[in-house]
Structure 1
Amino acid sequence: MLESLNRAQPYSIGLFRFVVGFLFACHGAASLFGVLGGAVGGGGALTVGTWPSWYAALIQLVCGTLVALGLGTRAASFLASGSMAYAYFTVHQPNALLPLQNGGETVVFFCWAFLLLVFTGPGAVALDRLLSARSERVHNGEHPREHAPAVTA
């Protein structure tokens, strides 16, 4: 049983990566474009360039999308984790010590989930793996056809 769980580990990490990235990207899209319920606290989109909320939302959208796709997962996760740590200590922690008291549970979960992905990598079914496999084939001399053969009538 343990062996079958170990074989499933890359796929479960890949699924975890996708879900966390997708949810993070949804937060960014909601804040930037006023979709999916709008910016935090209701309402429409954030004003472009508003510090730090607009930049945080941009990080959420871009990094969340990259993580969900499995493209540059470790770097995007590192940036996302850091942005959530910053958000916790500047927005939530001054209000109370514990996340349960200061409303920072979601921020803390995102921070630690992304930090985990920094160390585990993207798991299975990630664009990084697909692109690196293709790049390796090209590097080994297995060049893809540049042009399809001409079709004559």
Structure 2
Amino acid sequence: MSSPRVTRIVWPLFRIVIGLLFTCHGLSSLFGFFGGKGGTGESVPVGTWPGWYAALIQLVCGLLVLVGLFTRPAAILASGSMAYAYFVVHQPHGLMPIQNGGVTPALYSWTFLLIAVLGPGAWSLDELITTRRSSPPAVREPEHV
């Protein structure tokens, strides 16, 4: 049994951490940050399929999920890209993720699917935009001179 108050705090923190970690994968692959490709400090050559495009998706979708902007579409794209990575890159080397090195893409795929289904939660730009759109405009009193 979960408390709505705890969920309101933990869910956005979960989304933020997952977005940050995914962003770091993109930065690592695109720019060699954090050790780059395979810890060598190298980046993926621009335009190479599928690595460069996957890294771009990781960077952009990770940032969007991190700040909670267009969260659901970004999470769907991230989930799909990780499912592709699992089935195309990892599964040919073994059935189970623990055998084929695909634990990380499998976890990311399901995690982003969960974020897409449940939405961004509190502390997101999506929530801020929705709140501002749904609240009536403030009525300002005329200033007397």
- 1:147 maps to none
1:3-152 to 2 correspondences below 5 Å: 5-40=3-38, 42-137=40-135, 140-142=136-138
Structure 1 contact 25–62 (Cα < 8 Å) conserved: yes
**How much does 1:118 deviate?**
0.9
- In structure 2, the residue corresponding to 1:40 is in which secondary structure? helix
Contact map agreement 1:32 1:45 (CA 8 A) in 2: yes
Alpha-carbon shift at residue 41 of structure 1 (Å):
5.1
Q: Is the 8 A contact 1:12 1:123 kept in 2?
A: no
Residue type matched to 1:116 in 2?
L
| Residue 142 (structure 1) shift | 2.8
Matches of 1:31 and 1:124, distance apart in 2: 30
* Equivalent residue pairs, number: 141
CA RMSD, Structure 1 to Structure 2 (Å): 1.8
Stretches of structure 2 lacking an aligned partner (at least 5 in a row): 141-145
Structure 1 segments of 4+ aligned residues over 4 angstroms from their partners: none
Between the aligned residues of both structures, percent identity stands at 54
Q: What is the Cα deviation at residue 130 of structure 1?
A: 1.1
- Unmatched segments (≥5 aa) in structure 1: 145-153
